[in-house]
Amino acid sequence: MKTQETAQKLKEIVKEKYSQIAAQSRAENAASCCGSTCGCSTLDMDIMAEDYTALEGYVADADLGLGCGLPTAFAIIKEGDTVVDLGSGAGNDAFVARSIVGENGKVIGIDMTEEMISKARLNTARLGFNNIEFRLGDIEAIPLDDGVADVVVSNCVLNLVPNKVKAFTETFRILKPGGHFSVSDIVLEGKLSESLLQSAEMYAGCVSGAIQKDDYLSIIADAGFENIQIQKEKKITIPDEILSTYLDHAALQKHKAGQSGIYSITVYADKPAAEMPKKKDVCCAPGCCDA
């Protein structure tokens, strides 16, 4: 029960912070990766975020600088595909994906924050798109039927989900057989200070919700995915003035001298084209399975 209560509390923290962000411009949010009003220091989003401006389909009003990669650039999206963007925010990756799938494709954005959904829908209405939609929903229980997506993308969101096992199980469920995902996320290498990991504000700022890279990849494999590849990896360097908000001098020096690190990774994986038959259904010859 305590674990469930903690997970729910963390989700409410993230939802509250991203609701604040939805009401602000990228410039206003540039003070930190969880928004300038959240009081979680002055972490420049450019430490985490990638530049979308050169991508076809880029919509400036949808870019709040909240990502940590360019998953749509790596996702091998094709014309006519159905793409689902998990944690779609104001629609940044969804609009880029829509430019690739064309008029015959479809893009569905999922976000748990009402304010983000409203902002994304306003952007969609202004642009006059009729093959892109945004739905309010939880990534741990995605409001979509089985096997609807050719491709799933997500940008610096799944690390904020308390139950990552459910998140990737749901991702597997909504993908068509033979479909795939490309997600950018924050992961850890080595041991980070508990002061960082337990900070609710830092959690909303993308770091404390992260887990070890090996554990992250294991969750993906356990969900049933194959051909798991890291398409891009970048170490995140957080300035001392930011770390000092959470660490005293001794802890800061220990952190800098250690081998631990925070990384942005973009991960690709396939859903098998056909599910393996259950053991009881496999026969090597007539009569061999009678028992």
Cβ neighbours of residue 276 under 8 Å, at least 6 residues apart?
Answer: none
- C-alpha closest to that of 233 among 219, 252, 217, 221: 217
Give the pLDDT confidence score for residue 162 in this predicted structure: 87
Question: Are 230 and 266 in contact, with CB atoms under 8 Å apart?
Answer: yes
For position 14, what pLDDT does the model report? 65
Classify the C-alpha dihedral 210-215-220-222 as positive or negative.
negative
pLDDT attached to residue 107: 98
Q: Give the Cα-Cα-Cα angle 54, 60, 63 (nearest 5 degrees).
A: 95
DSSP one-letter code for 106: E
- Residues 151, 84: contact at Cβ < 8 Å? yes
pLDDT of residue 29: 53
Domain positions in the chain: 2-272
Considering all CA atoms of the chain, what is the largest pairwise distance in Å, rounded to the nearest integer? 73
Q: How many CA atoms lie within 13 A of 45 on its CB side?
A: 25
Q: How far, in Å, CA of 248 to CA of 244, rounded?
A: 6
Query: What local confidence, expressed as pLDDT, does residue 206 receive?
Result: 59
CATH class of 2-272: alpha beta
State in Å, rounded, how far the first CA of the chain is from the last one: 43
CA distances for 275 relative to 146, 217, 279, 285, angstroms:
14, 20, 12, 21
Token digits of residue 47: 């430490």
| Residue 38 CB partners (closer than 8 Å, separation 6+) | 17, 20, 32, 201, 204, 205
**For residues 113 and 24, what is the distance between their CA atoms, to the nearest angstrom?**
14
- Written as six digits, the tokens of 37 are 């009003």
pLDDT tens track, the chain, 291 positions: 445 556 666 666 665 666 566 555 555 554 444 433 333 443 444 566 788 999 999 999 888 888 889 999 999 999 999 999 999 999 999 999 999 999 999 999 999 999 999 999 999 999 999 999 999 999 999 999 999 999 999 999 998 888 999 999 999 999 999 999 999 999 999 887 777 666 545 555 556 678 999 999 999 999 999 999 999 999 887 777 777 777 888 888 877 777 778 889 999 999 999 865 444 444 444 444 443
Q: Is 95 helix (H, G, I), strand (E, B) or coil?
A: helix
pTM tops 0.85, yes or no: no
Which pLDDT belongs to residue 257?
Answer: 78
**Distance from C-alpha of 17 to C-alpha of 212, rounded to nearest angstrom:** 24
